[in-house]
Structure 1
């Protein structure tokens, strides 16, 4: 997955942001949790994870499905893999 190697730094930045948001949620829950603060933290984490998924998925589709040298069988396999990942993500 050379496309991930090329974009490693921004992906790691996103992951660290998600980690920080999860830690902030943990701190809120350990204190006297306010429902609004908890919901805001969860929404922020969800948005950050969705952004990460979008970035990686975009890169993956362009790199793998956009390749001109794929046979129809290889392309079908790639599509099936992506659909499987999306199904599990959207559950």
Structure 2
């Protein structure tokens, strides 16, 4: 059975696709390996420490850090606007 892709080429779903991707990123970047909540800066530091300074994962996390942080911030703003989230 072939899975249906989440992302489509339909322009009407482009914003939704982006929002879902940001929500997924925010979930990953605010949950540590023990499945406890953390903040994005601690999560990025944990990933870099776990993989070490010379690992390709660390390299790409550093490159992606501004967008990862922005995705978390946008998601948190959307949740607050919807009345969902931490006080």
| The two structures share one fold, judged by TM-score above 0.5 | no
The alignment's TM-score, normalised by the length of structure 2, stands at 0.36
If each structure's helix is expressed as a fraction of its own residues, which one has the higher value?
1
Larger Rg: 1
